[in-house]
Structure 1
Amino acid sequence: MYSLNKRLTLSLAGSLVLFFIFQTIMIDREVEKLSEQNLISRLEHDQKSLLAALKWQPPAKPELHQNYIPDIYMRAFSGHYYELTVAGHTFRSRSLWDEKLPQTKAPLVRDVAGPNDQLLLILSQNFKIHNKPVTIRIAEDISHLDAMTNTFQGSLLVLAAIAVLILLILQSLIIQYGLKPLLRIRQQLGLLERGEIHQITTPAPKEIMPLVAEINHLITLMNKRLQRSRHALGDLAHTLKTPLSVIQQIVERQESTADNIQLQNQLQQIEQRITRELARARTAGQSPGGQWLKPYDDLHELLNVFKKLFPDKTITLAISKALKIEADREDMLEIFGNLLENACKWSDSTVHCQVELIHNKLLIKIEDDGAGIEPDAYQHLLSRGIRADESKPGHGLGLAIVNEIVNAYGGDIKLEPSPTLKGLQVRITLLQS
C-alpha cells in the first residue's frame, strides 16, 4: 500500500530539486560569463588607452607616454600587466618588474600562470598604426575573481537549499490542505462504520465526488438488501406463529402420550425460536444496517427476552455502561443470542454473561451451571449441525454460526470448563482497533 501524500511529496520534491540544480548551474554560468565579459571589456578599454599613449612618427622611435596609462600598471606585481610590441620595440608595464608575460597563441586565454604564481587572463589584439602592426597583450590577475565566484557559488547553493526547504514545507502544507477532503471522507467512513451516520455528507472536490456518490449508492443498496432480509425473516416467523399456535392447541387436546409430550416440547422450542426472531426483527427494524452494537442497552434488552423465554433460569450480565464494541450490531446479537440460548438450554438454573475490554481485546465469557461436556468434544461441537446431546432440542447450528462470525472478525473462540459455575464456559476474544 502506498501513500498518496508521500507519493506527491516525493514527486514534487524531486522536481523542485532538479529545477534548483538546473537553475543554480545556469545562474553560476551566466554570472561567470558576465564577469568575464566585464573583465574583457575593461581590458579592451585599457588597450585603447595604451594605443592612445603610443606616439610614433616613422622613422623616429616609438614612444609610450606614461601619462595616458592607468596607475595600476605602475605598481609592481599589481595583477595588471601589458606588453606592447611595435616596429621591433616592446614596451612592458612597470608592474611586470623583470618578468615577461607568458606567450599565448589564442587571442583570449585564461588561467595562465603569471608573476608571483598569479592566475592571469591574457587578451591579445593586433592594431595598425601607419600601416605597421601593433600587438598589445594585456593581462589581469583573476584569482580574486575566482575567489569571488566561489563565494557567490557557495552563497547561491545555501540560498537555493533554503529556498528548496521552504518550498518543500509549503508544498507539504499545500498537499495536506488538498488532501483534507479525503481525510474528512475517511472520518465519515469511520462514523458510517459505527452506524452514527448513514451517508457520506462532507463536501468533496468534483474530482472525487463521483467516488463519494458511488459509495453512498452502494451503502443505500446494501441497507435495502439487509432490511429486506431482516423483514423477510421477521415476516416468516410471524407467519409461522399463528399456525403453530393452532397446532399446539390441537396437540394439547390430545391424550398425554409419550409422542404427544415430545411433540409439545418440539413445538415449544419452535415457538421460542420464533419469539426470539420476532424480537430481533423488531429491534432490527429500529436501526439501519451496519450500526454498531450498544453493549449495555442492547444486551440488557436481549437478556430480558431470554428471561421471558426461560423464566426458571437466573440470567446475569456483567458489563460496563461505558463499554463500546466496534462490531456490527446484528452480528453481535447473533453471537450473544446463540450462546445465551445454548447456555439456558443446558444450564440447571444459572447463566452468567461477562463482557469486558482488556488491552484492545474484547473478551466475552458466557458460562452455565449445567453438566458440561467432555473436553474431547469441544472442537467437534463447533462444526455445523453437531449437537452434544441428541435428546436436547435444536439443530446444532448455534455454535457453528457463532464460530463463523468470530472467524470473520479475526477472533478466537474457546470452549472450556466454567471455573465458577462448573458447567461449560464459552470464551470469545475479538480484536478492537
Structure 2
Amino acid sequence: MYSLNRRLTLSLAASLVLFFLAQTVMIGREVETLTEQNLLSRLKHDQEALLTALNWQPPDRPVIEPLRIPEIYQRPFSGHYYQIDVAGMTMHSRSLWDEQLPVQHEEIARDIEGPVGQRLLLLTQSVTLHGQTVKICTAEDISHIEATTSSFQRHLLLFAAAAVLALLVLQGWLVQNGLKPLQRIRNQLSQLEKGEIDRVTITTPSEIMPLVEEINRLVQLIRMRLDRSRHALGDLAHALKTPLSVAGQIIQRQADTPDVAELRQQLKNIEHRIDRELARARTAGRAPGGNWADPSADLNDLTRMLNRIFPAKEITLNLSGMATVVADREDMLEVFGNLLENGCKWARTQVRCTIRHELGELVINVEDDGPGIDDAAGELLLQRGVRLDESTPGHGLGLSIVNEIVEAYDGTITLGRSAELHGLCVTMTLPQP
C-alpha cells in the first residue's frame, strides 16, 4: 500500500528540483555570457579609443598621445591593460609596469593568467593604419567579476531551494485539502458500519462522485440480497417445520422398532440442520454492522426470561460503563441468549456475565459454577453438534452458533475454567471501531 500524498510530493519534488536546477544552470550561463559580452564590448571600445590616440611622427614612428589614454590604464596593475605591436615596436600601458601581456593567437582568450596572478579576458585585433599592420590587445581582470557571478549563482541556488521547499509545503497543503473529501467519505463509511446512517450522503468533487455512487449501490445491493436470503430461508424453514412436525407425531404413534427409531433420529437431524442454517443465515453474507443501542435493558429482559426457566439459578450481570455496542442487536441477543442459557444448564447455583470496554474492544465473560471443562475440550465444544454430556438436553449447536457470529465480527472466543466460580468461563472479544 502506498501513500497518494507521499507519491505526489515525491513526484513534485523531483520535478521541481530538476526544473530549478536546470533554471539555475541556464541563468548562470546566461549571466556569464552577458557579462562577457559587456566586457568584450568595453574592450573593443577601448581599442577604438587607443587607435584614435595612435599617431605617426616622422619618419613613420608610431606614438600614443598620453592625454588621450584613459586614466584606468595609467595606474599600475589596475586590472585594465593594453599592448600594441606595430612596425616592430611594442607599446603597452603603464598599468602593466614591466610585464607583457600573454597575447594569444585567437581573437578572444579567456581566463589567461596576467600580472600579479590576475585572471584576464583578452581581446586581440589586427588593423592596418598608414599602410602598416597594427596588432592591438586589450585585457581586463575578471577575477572580481567571476566572484560576483559565483555569488549570484549561489544566491540563485539558495532561492531555488527555498522556492522548492515553499512549493512543497504549498503542494502538501493543497493535497491535504484535496483529499479531505476522501476523509469525509471514510468517516461516513465508519458511520455506515456502526449503523448511524444507511448511505453515504456527502457532496464530493465530480471525480470522486462515481466512487460514492458505487458504494451506495453496493450497500443497497447487499441489503437486498440479505433480505431476500433471510426471507427465503425463513419461508423454507416454516414450510418444512409443519410437515416435519406432522411426520414426528405420526412416528411417535408407531411401535418402537429399529426402523422407527432410525426415522426419529433422522427427523431430529433434519430439525437440527434447519435450526443451524437459520442461525447461519443471520450472519452469513453480511458485513457486521448496526448499533446495539440499549444493551442493559435487553440483557435485563433476557435475564428475567431465563430466571423463569431456571428459577434455581442466580444470574448476575455486571454492565459497568456499558453504552452503545457497535454490533447488530439480533446477533448480540443470539450470542448472550446461547451463552447464558448454556451457563444456566450447567451451573449449580450461579451464572455471572461481565461486559467491559478495553483497548478498543468489547470483552465479554460468561462464567458459571458448574463442572467446567478440560482445556483440551475447549476447541472441541465450539464445533457443530458436539456435546460432552449427552444427558443434558440440547442439540450442541449453541456454542458453535456463538462462535460463527463472533468470527463474522472478526472477534475471538476462548473456553476455559473460571478462576472464581470454578466452572466454565467463556471469554469473547469483539472489535469496536
TM-score w.r.t. structure 2 length?
A: 0.84
Residues 373 and 115 of structure 1: CA distance in aligned 2, closer, same or farther (over 3 Å): closer
Please list the CA deviations of residues 136-195 of structure 1 after superposition, one character each: whole Å capped at 9, or x if unmatched: 100000010011011111111111111111111001011111111111111111111111
TM-score (norm: length of structure 1): 0.84
State the match for 1:12 in structure 2. Answer: 12
Secondary structure of residue in 1 paired with 2:139: strand
**CA distance, structure 2, for counterparts of residue 315 and residue 192 of structure 1:** 35
Letter in 2 for 1:423: G
SS of equivalent residue, structure 1 residue 221: helix
Q: How does 1:412-427 map to 2 (within 5 A)?
A: 412-427=412-427
CA distance in structure 1 between the partners assigned to 2:219 and 2:311 by the alignment:
40
Residue matched to 1:260: none
SS at the partner of 1:167?
A: helix
Query: Aligned with 2:61: secondary structure?
Result: coil
What does 1:279-318 correspond to in 2, within 5 Å? 290-294=289-293, 295-307=295-307, 310=310, 313-318=313-318
* Residues 89-238 of structure 1 aligned to structure 2 (within 5 Å): 89-232=89-232
Q: State the distance in 2 between where 1:224 and 1:345 align.
A: 38
8 Å CA contact 2:57–2:63 kept in 1: the answer is no
The CA distance in 1 between the partners of 2:289 and 2:410, in whole Å, is 18
SS in 2 for 1:395: coil
Q: Give the alignment of 1:23-42 within 5 angstroms.
A: 23-42=23-42
Give CA deviations for 1:266-294 in whole Å, capped at 9, x if unaligned: 99xx9xx99xx99x99xx9xxx9721333
Verify the 8 A CA contact 2:193 2:288 in the aligned structure 1: no
Question: Counterpart in 2 of 1:400?
Answer: 400
Secondary structure of residue in 2 paired with 1:17: helix
The alignment of Structure 1 onto Structure 2 pairs a total of residues equal to 412
RMSD: 3.5
User: Per-residue displacement from partner, 1:49-97 (whole Å, max 9, x unpaired)?
Assistant: 1111111367431121122221000000000000012222221000001
Q: CA deviation at 1:431?
A: 4.5
AA in 2 matched with 1:111: D
Q: Distance in 2 between matches of 1:403 and 1:58?
A: 125
- Give the whole-Å Cα distance in 2 for the aligned partners of 1:234 and 1:222: 18
Unmatched segments (≥5 aa) in structure 2: 252-263
Give the conservation status (yes or no) of the 8 Å contact 1:323–1:357: no
Query: Which amino acid counterpart does residue 43 of structure 2 have in structure 1?
Result: L
Distance 1:289 1:118, change over 3 A: closer
Match of 1:82 in 2: 82
Q: Cα distance 1:301–1:73, how it changes in 2: closer, same or farther (>3 A)?
A: farther
Aligned residue type for 1:293: W
- Which moved further from structure 2: 411-420 or 155-164? 411-420
For 1:107 and 1:344, how far apart are their aligned partners in 2? Answer: 111
**Sequence identity (%):** 56
Rounded Cα–Cα distance in structure 1 between residues aligned with 2:84 and 2:245? 132
CA distance, structure 2, for counterparts of residue 216 and residue 425 of structure 1: 42
**Match for 2:289: what amino acid?**
G
- Per the alignment, residue 260 of structure 2 pairs with none
Deviations 1:8-31 (A, max 9, x none): 111111111111111111111111
8 Å Cα contact 2:374/2:416 also seen in 1: no
- Cα distance, 1:415 vs structure 2: 1.8
Contact 1:323 1:356 in 2 (8 A): no
> What is the CA–CA distance in structure 2 between the aligned matches of 1:296 and 1:242, rounded to whole Å?
36
Matches within 5 A, 1:243-322: 290-294=289-293, 295-307=295-307, 310=310, 313-322=313-322
- Alpha-carbon distance change, 238 to 410 in structure 1, aligned in 2, over 3 angstroms: closer
1:332 and 1:132 map into 2 onto residues whose CA distance is 115
Displacement, 1:408? 4.7
- Any conservation in 1 of the 2:111–2:120 contact (CA below 8 Å)? yes
8 Å CA contact retained: 2:125, 2:135: yes
Gaps (5+ residues) in structure 1?
Answer: 252-262
Contact 2:103 2:124 in 1 (8 A): no
| 1:56 partner SS | strand
